[in-house]
Amino acid sequence: MKEFNASKEDWTNWVKTIKTYSKPNAAKSWWQIINSFVPYFGLWVAMVYSLQISYWLTLALSILAAGFLVRIFIIFHDCGHGSYFKSAKLKRVVGIIAGMLSFTPYHKWHFMHKTHHKTVGNLDKRGMGDVMTMTVEEYKNASDSKKRFYRLYRNPIILFFIAPFFLFSLINRFTSKDFPKKVNTYTHLTTLAILVVITAVSFWIGFKTFVLIQVPVLYFASSFGVWLFYIQHQFKDVVWERGDKWDYKTVAMTGSSYAKFPRIIQWFSGNIGFHHIHHLGPKIPNYNLEKCLKENPLFQKEALTFLDSLKSMRYRLWDEKQHKLVSFREAMLSE
């Protein structure tokens, strides 16, 4: 495991420190809902009228609307962590509504996401809520068909520009025997509710109009969202471990990135770039993440730049011998 510059004594009260930032502020939460939901719905209406002018204008507006949809997804994300309101019922209601707008079933996604938090960076517990990553040895020992599938899955064009839309529009509709019955039931209910909303909106503006607007919005938002998730755990100096060496605090710091975005991207992404802070304290509302980082040198580390995030797209496999992510080419050269 990677050692930090801070001493063990400095880390003694880290949980207590995190808790001081984990109290939701109702005013901030409601203001964030207002400045996210209202512009999103406003842009949706504007796109309906823009179709009478030019579809290029509609597409331009859809990119902006996608930014607000990503922000709405962060609210959905925070509600599931119990970090947005004190009321459990209010968190659930707001989370379900935000999830429907982003075509994401609240109970299913958070069941998987909480598993992700408990197992992130653990090489012995990969598979739920993660970007599929094989080790070099696993890839070398895989069948030809599995290698072809994995290469296709990890292709940046597939991973960032094709798969995300189908993940949110289609795959999110599926259930699993590995999920609790309640999760599967609510997944079906969410799909039913989304279909009801689509039908109602289509009666108002027409199904073709709905598709011309919603598809590009969801496409841009899902691609951006998957890219955000990818760089949070797939970057140059990431540290992953086998179960016997895995430690929650250390992997939160070294297995999750701190991505330093331009202010506008940070705003639309709901401060999710402070991802190591989020993994240290999942109950910290997104509007407190930056404050937590700035006020505690203990949690500060080197930031991942936009250029670094682009370079990370070449990574495909985890090399256990070198203890780092490598490209297919690097893996073959290491033989």
* Residue type present at position 123: L
Q: What is the pLDDT of residue 245?
A: 86
CA separation for the pair 308, 298 (Å, rounded): 23
Q: What is the pLDDT of residue 331?
A: 87
Contact yes or no for 41/65 (Cβ under 8 A): no
Candidates 27, 19, 32; CA nearest to 270 is 32
Beta strand spans in 233-281 (E) = none
Q: What is the pLDDT of residue 5?
A: 53
Phi-psi region of 25 (alpha: psi -120 to 50; beta: other; left: phi over 0): beta
CA separation for the pair 286, 244 (Å, rounded): 31
Beta strand spans in the chain (E) = 134-135, 317-319, 324-326
Q: What is the pLDDT along the chain (335 residues), one digit of tens a residue?
A: 444 555 566 677 888 999 999 999 999 999 999 999 999 999 999 999 999 999 999 999 999 999 999 999 999 999 999 999 999 999 999 999 999 999 999 999 999 999 999 999 999 988 788 899 999 999 999 999 999 999 999 999 999 999 999 999 999 999 999 999 999 999 999 999 999 999 999 999 999 999 999 999 999 999 999 999 999 999 988 999 987 888 888 888 899 999 988 999 999 999 999 999 999 999 999 999 999 999 999 899 999 988 888 889 999 999 999 999 999 999 887 65
Candidates 285, 198, 276; CA nearest to 237 is 276
Q: What is the DSSP string of 143-171?
A: -HHHHHHHHHHT-HIIIIIIHHHHHHHTG
Q: How many C-beta neighbours within 10 Å does residue 163 have? A: 18
Candidates 277, 276, 228, 193; CA nearest to 70 is 228
pLDDT in tens, 220-259: 999 999 999 999 999 988 999 987 888 888 888 899 999 9
CA separation for the pair 231, 309 (Å, rounded): 6
